[in-house]
């Protein structure tokens, strides 16, 4: 299994902090989000990290290098990184012939949380947090009987479901489903009328293949979109992760 880390975006909502550095290199507890993510991956049965780069990509290449600990690192450039997020997944479509875990690069999390996804029995699965507070910013995941049925920030007509949670931003995709995901991305990209998130393609995929879910409610994690998130990561989330010890 390889990791596809989506790290190309500008992170406008964190400006001016991200004007001259990528969001994934913002420090939390003296170390960047990306370094923490790569360390977690190196502790798991993941063979390689592929980082999609764009904004201030030279800084990312300097920090991660060609190998991070035992973990080989490669890069794929998204030349359209200022546009919609689906393009970052689209540029690594050829990687989908292998089992992959797709990861947003702006998440602070304990290693055990990612382990639960990598090692879960479902070939394809999403991490969700059922203990979330709905502010309208969250990517919501709807599921029933162990199968994810819909994902998105604004699911206008949620399907009948027995579970709803916030998407963490991590998706395990089996190689058997990779070609289907490519087709879904092509379909989404043909619609030129709106901004497209990569979750739009996953939402289409859910109608064609079985995708499971793993609940990480109760574990400390946060996505960093705003300055307040960065402060919360430093003051609240990181201390909780450290208390988990070796699996943090």
Q: What is the model's pLDDT at position 209?
A: 98
d(CA 117, CA 126): 7
Rounded distance between C-alpha atoms, residue 248 and residue 171, angstroms: 20
Element (H, E) at 142: strand 140-144
Cβ-defined contacts of 239-247 (< 8 Å, 24+): 241/108, 241/109, 241/110, 244/110, 244/112, 244/220, 247/110, 247/111, 247/112, 247/115
Instruction: Write down the pLDDT at residue 196.
Output: 85
Q: Could you tell me the residue range of the domain that residue 82 belongs to?
A: 2-128+167-247
179 part of a folded domain: yes
Any idea what the CATH number is for the domain that residue 191 is in? 3.90.550.10
Contacts of 218 (CB under 8 A, 6+ apart): 131
156 found inside a domain? no
For 165, half-sphere exposure in the C-beta direction (CA atoms, 13 angstrom radius) is 23
What does the pLDDT read at residue 246? 59
Instruction: For residue 215, give the DSSP letter.
Output: E
Residue 153 is assigned to a structural domain of this protein:
no
122 domain-assigned: yes
pLDDT under 50: residue ranges of the chain: none
Q: Residue 158 domain-assigned?
A: no
Q: Is residue 42, in this structure, part of any structural domain at all?
A: yes
β-pair type (140-144, 163-173)? antiparallel
CB 119 within 8 A of CB 109: no
pLDDT tens digits, 204-218: 999 999 999 999 998
pLDDT in tens, 169-202: 999 999 999 999 999 999 999 987 776 899 999 9
Per the structure, the count of domains in the chain is 1
Q: Does the residue 145 lie in any domain?
A: no
Give the predicted TM-score (pTM) of the model: 0.95
- Return the SS3 of 203: helix
For helices 33-42 and 57-64, the axis angle rounded to 10 degrees is: 40
Predicted pLDDT of residue 158? 83
């Amino acid at each position: 299994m390889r990791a596809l880390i989506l790290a190309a975006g500008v992170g406008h909502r964190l400006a001016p902090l991200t004007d001259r550095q990528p969001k994934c290199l913002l420090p939390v507890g003296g170390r960047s989000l990306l370094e923490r993510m790569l360390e977690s991956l190196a502790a798991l049965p993941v063979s390689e990290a592929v980082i999609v780069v764009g904004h201030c990509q030279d800084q990312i290449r300097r920090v991660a290098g060609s190998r991070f600990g035992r973990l080989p690192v490669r890069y794929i450039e998204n030349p359209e990184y200022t546009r919609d997020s689906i393009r970052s997944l689209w540029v690594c479509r050829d990687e989908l012939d292998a089992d992959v875990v797709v990861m947003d690069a702006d998440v602070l999390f304990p290693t055990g949380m990612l382990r639960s996804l990598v090692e879960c029995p479902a070939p394809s699965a999403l991490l969700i947090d059922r203990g979330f507070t709905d502010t309208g910013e969250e990517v919501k995941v709807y599921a029933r009987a162990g199968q994810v049925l819909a994902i998105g920030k604004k699911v206008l007509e949620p399907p009948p479901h027995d579970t709803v949670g916030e998407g963490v931003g991590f998706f395990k995709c089996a190689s058997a489903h990779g070609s289907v995901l490519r087709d879904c991305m092509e379909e989404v990209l043909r619609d030129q009328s709106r901004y497209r998130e990569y979750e739009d393609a996953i939402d289409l995929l859910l109608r064609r293949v079985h995708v499971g879910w793993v609940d990480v409610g109760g574990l400390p994690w946060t996505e960093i979109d705003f300055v307040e998130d960065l402060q919360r990561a430093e003051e609240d989330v990181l201390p909780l992760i450290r208390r988990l010890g070796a699996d943090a």
